[in-house]
Amino acid sequence: VMTLAVDFEVGFLVLGIFILLLYSIMTWAIIHRLTRPIQQIVDAVAPYQEGREEFLPKIILNEAMQTDEFGKLASTLNSLNEKIQKQIEHLTRQKKETEDILESLSEGVIAFDTSAKVTFANQVSCRMLRAHHDAMIGYILPHLHSTSPIVEGLAKKCHEGVLQALQTSETIVQTWTLGDGGKIYLDLIAAPLAHQSGAILVLQDKTSDYKVVEMGKDFIANASHELRTPITIIRGFAETLQDIPNLSTAMLHEITEKIVRTCGRLDRLVKSLLTLADIENLPETNFRPYDLLSMIEHCKHILLTAHPDASVDIREELKKAYVAVDGDLFDLAIMNLLENAVKYSPAPARIEVIIQPATHHRVEIVVQDRGIGIPEKDLPHIFDRFYTVDKARSRKSGGAGLGLSIVKTIIDKHHGTIKASSELGKGTRFTVSLPLKSERG
């Protein structure tokens, strides 16, 4: 009985051990089955978490696991990952497009965070502040190091505007002048971003606008002066006739002749001013293809009718040259150049006109005289309105300094260029460049 009891206990113990071992094996298998796909998911995500991958990699499970709940979880994570990556790519493209747009602007654009540190700056703003792009990002503007006190002053002014915009949540507009004598004008516009997330600063170069205003003021002042002078002369002679009715015939003839001559000068001045106004509003629908040589020949004929002693030699280096111009205005431009050549040359005037190719698509008209020439210091200004090199001679001839200005305005309106070179005592050379057109336009 004792032996049977012992055998039973041993057998029961062995069976218990076997069952325990089997349970352990089954438990390990079940746990392994459950933890293996989780470990695969963790292993797949680890490189992204550690920063070794830019994007979250795709989770791939064994085929046996793809149909169970873990497979569905992996599939859901992959689907979410794809959507997130697409969204990131979309936002990246949008950011790149926005930066490209900001870089293409002619204005300087700088973005700031809530502490007034730079988060973005386009190249135009970097050039205006004379700073490298990397030296601006993450810093406030006064920290920029510049050898120019003017640029440092501009950076400080920009920073003050940005701080004011951040504090008041209002758009701040300021004007800053750079250079001696106010050569460059900048408008500084600081505006807060939505949700108080920062501010943006726009630097607009308004120099051309200010120059237009200044030119307008100068034009009005000069025109007023030029108009006042002949009016004063006429008024003086009229008062003389009124105060002294018994003038001699010779004196009366002299006074009336001066009044008529002054009226003629006044008439020419008004016509020149009206011509300038008309040219500024010239529509390109007025342009027609013209044979350049025929137009030059026509202008030569008109000039020789008024100045029969003058000599005009036309040299054509192109067989045919057609240009799209307003015929009347282009005649006026060429006539002004030819008449200037006669006016500032000793009699009899000798003028040479050359029609030559400039490039494959452009033609040059050169008008050259053997006159008194133009001083080098005056050459940069001869196309300015009311500018005269020899004021006494211009007054005597009735000129107001508008002839070459009219010529340049006409040439500019025809998409051309004009330049001048001169040597005192030897003559002046004007070179006009125009785009070529076919005979049919």
Domains of the chain: 2-93 (no CATH), 105-205 (3.30.450.20), 212-281 (1.10.287.130), 284-441 (3.30.565.10)
Q: What is the DSSP string of 279-336?
A: HHT--GGG-EEEEHHHHHHHHHHHHHHH-TT-EEEEEE-SS--EEEE-HHHHHHHHHH
With a cut of 50, list the residues of the chain below it in pLDDT: 392-398
Please state, in angstroms and rounded to a whole number, the distance separating the CA atoms of residues 202 and 165. 12
- Strand pairing category for 322-325 and 362-369: unpaired
Of 352, 343, 296, 292, nearest to 322 by C-alpha is 292
Tell me what pLDDT residue 392 has: 45
Tell me what pLDDT residue 399 has: 52
Q: pTM value? A: 0.50
Tell me what pLDDT residue 68 has: 67
Contacts of 428 (CB under 8 A, 6+ apart): 341, 344, 368, 369, 371, 373, 374, 420, 421, 422
Using an 8 Å Cβ cutoff, are 227 and 269 in contact? Answer: yes
Give helix 327-343 / helix 292-306 axis angle, nearest 10°.
50
Tell me what pLDDT residue 411 has: 92
Tell me what pLDDT residue 395 has: 46
Question: What does each C-alpha distance from 81 to 51, 94, 159, 357, 402 come to in angstroms?
Answer: 16, 20, 42, 64, 72
Please state, in angstroms and rounded to a whole number, the distance separating the CA atoms of residues 197 and 194. 6
Tell me what pLDDT residue 1 has: 65
